[in-house]
Each structure stands twice: as C-alpha cells, then as structure tokens.
Chains A and B, each alone.
Chain A
C-alpha cells in the first residue's frame, strides 16, 4: 500500500518535472521534495506529540489538559508555535555570537537527519543505508555537540553546567544504547533497518520477545539520550533553571524543543523497526488489513506513550545516581545480554 502511494507520487512528480522541462534536475529536486515532505510530516507529528504529552500528563494527574483551542484542544500547539515564532528573540549581550546562533540549528538538524533511514512502510524510506543503525546513532549523537555549544556560548553558568551534564550523560548512555542493538544485529547479520524488519517478517516473531532485556535497555538509554525525565538533569529546572536553553527564546528555543521531540520520534522509530516488527501487523490483528505505515505510526505512538509515562511517573535521578545506573547496571546487563545471545547463536539453538 505504502509502496504504491510512493510510486504514484514519484510518477506524478516526474511527470511534473517533464512538464516544467526540469527533468535534468530530477535527482536534486527529488531530495528537496523528500526533505520537505519529511519536515511537514515531522512538524505535524511533533505538534500532535506535544498535545499528546500535555493530555497524557494531565490525565495522569486527574486534570483535563488543553481543551479550548480547536476540537479537544488539538490546535493548542499551533497557537503555541505561532506565539513562539512572533516572540522577541532575547539574546545575552556577552554571548559568543556564531556558536550561539548555530547551536539550535545543529540540535534540530542532527535529530532530523536521523529520520532518513527510518522505514515507515515496505519500500517507504528516504534512503535505506546498509549502515542504517550506525548512521542513526552517529547522527543523533551530534545533539550533544549542539547542547554543549549552546551551554558554552550562552555565557551563563547554569547553561554551561547543563551542557556539561548533558555531555557526561549522553557519553555514558550511548554505550548501552549501542550495545542493546548489538544482539539483534548479531542475529540478523545486517545494520539496515529495512532488512531487520524483513528478517522479522520471515522469522515470524518480533525481537521484543527473545530480546526483551535489550528492548528495555534500549528504551531506558533512548529516554536518557533524548534528555527526557527521569534523565533530564541537563535541563533540570529545579537546579539549573532551563539548563542549556536558559538563554534561548523564541524560534531558537522552538528549535531545541523540536529537536527534543524529533529525537524521541527517531528513538521510537528505531525501537519500532528493530524490536517491534516495523510496519508488520501485530499477530491476530492482520485481518484488519491496515496499511503498513499506520501500524508503524501506532507502534511509534505506543513507544512514545511509554516514554511519556516514564516522564510523568518517575522522579529525576541525581547526577551520581544517573552515572551509577548507566555504568553499573545498564552496561553490565547489555554485555551479559550480548554474551548470552552469542552463546545461543554459536550453539545453533
């Protein structure tokens, strides 16, 4: 289904190029169109996610949440976005001008680029790289540079502390994040997200069952990677005001905000593709004949609901507890997981 739609859209687009005598530029234009489509999808999806987060948190606290702007308050985020864009851009006088300007752009672009390899449906992927997982982890790791730059260039001690904390946290949690994906790569023998989903389609099971431990470790580390509570010490508002984005306002703040939510979407997408069978229909629900990308989005929403539930359930960790948890619990567990998986593969069980 998804493949057909994409094929039709591509045919239409190439017809349009021919009509406008731009066929020679097709590869460039294709990239532009893909980027615009992805950005539109992500912008709308993030707006929905912000609304969802506010609704989820509200109902967990016996409140109603936004319900005035639009039906069920769905347009609340749009109103907030308009407010953020027309807001005055307040800048510290003694900032480091160039890094201060670049940091939010990097924070947004780094996470946005992670979406390139996400397979939304069979054949619906911007570019299926054969090093997909490696690419996602590497490119989303750029956010730490953005956060550190933002903290440094703001010339504000709270922002700087937030940046430092974020660097320490992401360096610590990147390791279990990668190591939780290693067992799946060992079993499938590929780094391409599309091939991993194909493997699950052939095998008839999702990796969440045999690799439950890896799934949980990935979920925890992904939450920490996205700087979300209970791992939000880089922006712990009770200690650091806003952390690295203390001195940012208006559109630049919106970029950081967008980056955080896109990071969440990317993590949830990777988890969906690797552990939850990507665009495959869940067992016993195949009779619904929903298109693959609907299942994919539903699974992403489930993952994001989990991450949101973490945020509104668990209290924030202290810095030393955070390091303890990362180095003394997650990393040993993921190593044990790799060893056990390797043993099982070796014995051919």
Chain B
C-alpha cells in the first residue's frame, strides 16, 4: 500500500507541476497589460478629479466666480486667496484668485461650497509636477478653464420637499 501511495504521490505532484507550467506558458503568449506611460496614456473618466480649475464663461467673456468667499472659508488649509469688487451694476466680480497647490489636499470642499458653478475638478490635467515650489501658486489666469460643450454643469439638487 505504502509503495503505491508513494508513486501515486510523485505522479500527482508531477501533474501539479505541469499544471503550473501550463499557466505560465499561457500567460507567456498572452498580450501584456503594460501601458507605456509617456507614449500611451490611459483615457481618464470625464469626472475624475485631477486638478481644480476656475470656470471661464466664453460667451459672457468673464469668470463665473462672484467672489462670495465661500470656497475660502471652506478650505481647511486656507490655501485660497480671493478678492473681488462690486461692479457699477451692483453685481460682485472676482478680481484676483490664488490657489496654492503646494498646501492644497484636493479635498474638494471648495468645489462643493461653490454655489455659482465657478470651481470644478477637471480630468485631463494630471501631470502636476513642477521644478519650483513657487510654481504651484496658481492665479486665475493659470486656472482658467472653458467647459467643453459636451460637459454639462451639474444639475442643481431638487428642493428638499419635492
């Protein structure tokens, strides 16, 4: 009995080894999954959060921002500096907007706090390395972003009672 078990065990082990080898052989001839990054880029989902941008309205030729300072208050790291003026027609307009990305943690509270569809996350700009720390302090011109036609602004939430 013992001898038979001994040889059966060896045969079984040999079969298992062949099974393992067949798996690696199959993968050897399969297509590789590697993305060659600088040459090939993965298409990111449209709403993935890569960089924070200030929305610029091309038709009205101005930023959507009205300098209500809600984003500044929402920011946990106080990395947003924002100034605005009251225009002759009584409406407020943003004059300077500075976001220091060296302290920003991309929590998205500013985007959530914005009630005027002026701040948003964009997907396409994700290579954010710079050579100097100062280059991370971006102003409204650096953050200017025109929303492409195929991206619609987020629907306002329905009233609570509805």
Residue numbers of A with Cβ under 8 A of B are 56, 58-64, 216, 309-310, 312-314, 329, 333
Contact = CB atoms under 8 A, between A and B. Distances in A.
B17 A314 contact: yes
Nearest to B31: A62
A176 to B, nearest CB: 13
Contacts of B33: 62-63
A56 B17 contact: no
A312 B24 contact: yes
B79 to A, nearest CB: 38
Contact of A60 (B17, B24, B36): B24
Contact of B32 (A64, A312, A313): A64
Contact of A309 (B24, B29, B30, B32): B24
Contacts of A216: 14
B85 interface: no
Interface in B1-58: 10, 14, 17, 20-21, 23-25, 27-34, 36
B21 A60 contact: no
Contact of B27 (A62, A64, A310): A62
A313 B28 contact: no
B24 A313 contact: yes
Contact of B23 (A310, A313, A333): A313
A59 B23 contact: no
B130 to A, nearest CB: 25
Contacts, number: 38
B20 A59 contact: no
Q: Which 8 A-B pairs have the closest CB atoms?
A: A313-B24, A62-B33, A60-B24, A64-B34, A313-B20, A59-B28, A64-B32, A62-B32
A60 B20 contact: no
Contacts of B24: 60, 309, 312-313
A41 B94 CA distance: 73
B40 to A, nearest CB: 11
B21 A309 contact: yes
B10 A333 contact: yes
Interface in B126-157: none
A310 B32 CA distance: 20
20 contacts: A58-B32, A59-B27, A59-B29, A60-B28, A62-B27, A62-B30, A62-B33, A62-B34, A63-B33, A63-B34, A64-B36, A216-B14, A309-B25, A310-B21, A312-B24, A313-B24, A314-B17, A314-B20, A329-B10, A333-B10
Contacts of A59: 27-30, 32
B27 A63 contact: no
A60 B34 contact: no
B135 to A, nearest CB: 29
Contacts of A313: 20-21, 23-24
Nearest to A67: B36
B118 to A, nearest CB: 44
A274 to B, nearest CB: 21
A333 B31 CA distance: 39
Contacts of B17: 314
A60 B32 contact: no
Interface in B92-106: none
Given A59-B28, A60-B24, A60-B28, 12 more contacts: A58-B32, A59-B27, A59-B30, A60-B27, A62-B34, A216-B14, A309-B21, A309-B24, A309-B25, A309-B28, A313-B23, A329-B10
